Structure 1
């Protein structure tokens, strides 16, 4: 009888151990799958992007210059002290300094922008950056800024003054609007060498070729003629 009990306990212990090993294996598999989902850290100091692929290495979407041939100009840009032209329909201008302006940004995961706003009404329209989080600091003027969370959609806004900082999480719709009677200037850092931008109104009403107006009329609950007018405006 005692031998039977011992054998039964041994079997139970063996099953528990096998179950434990399976859980450990599963946890490790999940951990490695998450780890492999992110870009690896670069294993070189830098990878200055060049347009000519001859005798170059392709890294992160760009060809890399021989590191022994890099110069200071590969890592610099001049001109962010110059105000951008805000004489357009939205009254704003974004001067983006990304990997196309500073080749040395390649693989470093950052970029910079200057934002200029015309007096009251200057707007950086609702848009998203598909590849980067944005951190913005106001240096002149007063801006009303905000972003919209994913479903359920919640609007988070704040009025910013010189020296104030605000963060716009990656991929979320956001905007900046000048609420003062003077010009406004802000600078933004982005967590990508090429964050990309999708301006919502332009993307919806102005793509080429255009979206079928019946689709937009139903999506926005608008008359079809209103949609067609908007498409002509943004075309």
Structure 2
């Protein structure tokens, strides 16, 4: 199951960059542009769908993130990483003492953010590993970071949903991913019974990526359970 991340950031460009980078790494991201949005997402989170980690900006259009940190600490044990342009040592100390697990000053590198997230999750007993971002086997070359897919050296165009489904399987190459997991991660928790979505999109992927879609070598079916990306030389 992907770790769920609540990203609270009002800068649209940064919010988009972070959301896409975290999604590629396999995280399920909900993004909020304000405190009101963040509170609404938390209020409507169903049991079992609360965030596993929060990335919190401080300067938000409807208030400061510091009081929101106090709210979070009263209702959740999820780690909180503050991401802010503010560099004052006193505020950093106050926020860390007030319940923040880490404080990252903007601008920062995505690699450093991901490493700090893994540390914060590990301290909560969740062992998050760097995501598998590439896959190579039998003429199929997939690079999730650059969103490029090639078959026998030729670029293959995938729709956003096709790519998201393929990426989910690549990140767990060699392991079965159940129908419910795929439906929840690609289409959302409300679609976990709609297996016809999977059949349709797996058929489209096989038509584009397999030499013979009736005898697939990469996108394998586990009858009655789910699908599996054939094991290959993969890495990050």
**Common fold: TM-score over 0.5:** no
Normalised-by-shorter TM-score class? under 0.3
Larger Rg: 1
Which of the pair is proportionally richer in helix?
2
Structure ranking higher on relative contact order (CA contacts 8 Å, 6+ apart): 1
